[in-house]
Amino acid sequence: MTNGNTITRERIAAMEPRIRPYVRHTPVLRVDMADFDRPPLAVDLKLECLQHSGSFKARGAFTNLLERPVPEAGVVAASGGNHGAAVAYAAMRLGHKATIFVPEVSPPAKLQRIRGYGAELIVGGARYAEALAASEAFAEKTGALQIHAFNQEETLVGQGTLGLEIEQDLPQIDTLLVAVGGGGLIGGIAAWFAGRIRIVAIEPEGAPTLHRAFEAGHPVDAPAEGVAADSLAPKRVGEMMFPIAEAFVERSILVTDDAIIAAQKALWERVRIIAEPGGAAAFAALLSGRYTPAPGERIAVLVCGSNTDPAKF
């Protein structure tokens, strides 16, 4: 298994201009926690929820399609929804066929987005792990290129370009809060910063994948439940990201489903940002008090996905 040492700052920096024509430089919004009925504190929200396909996943998807040869059978991916939408979008932009496997837990908003990008969508299995197994069987049968949502070098490198962009936008920050599912996002970002800022993982209590891995000293199976199960519950973190996380992620903090829902509502009601549960999880740690900043600490929060039904807001 390739280790995290191959996911380097140099590789991320070289990839960024290659994907730049296809991804947005997403904005930063500075908010005051007093606007959320909390003690005054300036916080920068990096709005990757405004990325093409509705999440940061577009970065890894384009990196895979630009770095790896795509066969005539096209590409295949398993996803709770966001990775599938990103792969479908990248394949559409670059002229490739895409087949996406998703579990039954995936919400209609994500299914609609995948179909809208012209991909063949196959829904089956209760959770991500079952969709992944079906996608692997499909790849073996057809020769399609498998694009893993998080345990793939190119995926990690692509997500690492978001770390580069955050540093360009916010060179002064001390701490970045990042939601974790399989770990591709935090792995790529942590590889970019390489210990130069504090990176804190935020996970739902119902899907503590990195939390359990830290306790065990290696990736292990964890529960895959909760309100963010379609984006933050892959059963275990990736083998490739774990050495990076051990080296550069300070700790994992768990948040409740109620805190995630409250963060979703607060982002909409106070600043008119639509975030899906996984996209709001990092902010939930700050809003709920699970993460308490030190005096003078300069904090950024990554809002990483927006693929949810706007009618809920």
- Write out pLDDT tens, residues 252-296: 999 999 999 999 999 999 999 999 999 999 999 999 999 999 999
pLDDT digits (tens, 9 = 90+) for 155-200: 999 999 999 999 999 999 999 999 999 999 999 999 999 999 999 9
Q: Please indicate, yes or no, whether residues 300 and 197 belong to a single structural domain of this protein.
A: yes
Q: How far apart are CA 187 and CA 180, in angstroms?
A: 9
- Domain containing residue 194: 9-56+152-312
Sign of the CA dihedral 253, 256, 257, 261?
A: negative
In a domain, 3, yes or no: no
pLDDT digits (tens, 9 = 90+) for 229-243: 777 778 899 999 999
Predicted structure pTM score: 0.95
Please give the C-alpha separations between residue 19 and each of 161, 184, 237, 310, in angstroms, as whole numbers: 9, 17, 25, 29
At which of 121, 146, 171 does a domain end? 146
Confidence band for 4, pLDDT divided at 50, 70 and 90:
low
Query: Is the separation of the CB atoms in 108 and 114 below 8 Å?
Result: no
Q: How far apart are CA 302 and CA 227, in angstroms?
A: 18
pLDDT value for 287: 98
Q: Please indicate, yes or no, whether residues 167 and 301 belong to a single structural domain of this protein.
A: yes
Please give the C-alpha separations between residue 268 and each of 140, 151, 173, 207, in angstroms, as whole numbers: 43, 32, 24, 24
For the cut 90, the answer to whether the pLDDT of residue 310 exceeds it is no
Q: How far apart are CA 150 and CA 160, in angstroms?
A: 12
pLDDT value for 289: 97
Q: Please indicate, yes or no, whether residues 161 and 300 belong to a single structural domain of this protein.
A: yes
Q: Please indicate, yes or no, whether residues 91 and 44 belong to a single structural domain of this protein.
A: no
Q: How many CA atoms lie within 13 A of 220 on its CB side?
A: 10
Q: Please indicate, yes or no, whether residues 190 and 277 belong to a single structural domain of this protein.
A: yes
pLDDT value for 35: 96
Residue-wise burial string across 105-139, b where 16 or more C-beta atoms lie within 10 A, e elsewhere: bbbebbbebbeebebebbeebebbbbbbebbeebb
At which of 130, 146, 162 does a domain end? 146
Confidence band for 219, pLDDT divided at 50, 70 and 90:
very high
Q: Considering its fold, how many domains does the chain have in total?
A: 2
pLDDT value for 2: 45
Q: How far apart are CA 20 and CA 81, in angstroms?
A: 23
Q: Please indicate, yes or no, whether residues 164 and 76 belong to a single structural domain of this protein.
A: no
pLDDT value for 125: 87
Q: Please indicate, yes or no, whether residues 117 and 260 belong to a single structural domain of this protein.
A: no
Q: Which two tokens stand for residue 13?
A: 């920096």
Q: Which two tokens stand for residue 186?
A: 């935090």
In a domain, 4, yes or no: no
At which of 84, 117, 146 does a domain end? 146
Other Cβ atoms within 10 Å of 30 Cβ, number: 10
Q: Please indicate, yes or no, whether residues 173 and 269 belong to a single structural domain of this protein.
A: yes
Q: How far apart are CA 154 and CA 283, in angstroms?
A: 27
CATH assignment of the domain containing 308: 3.40.50.1100
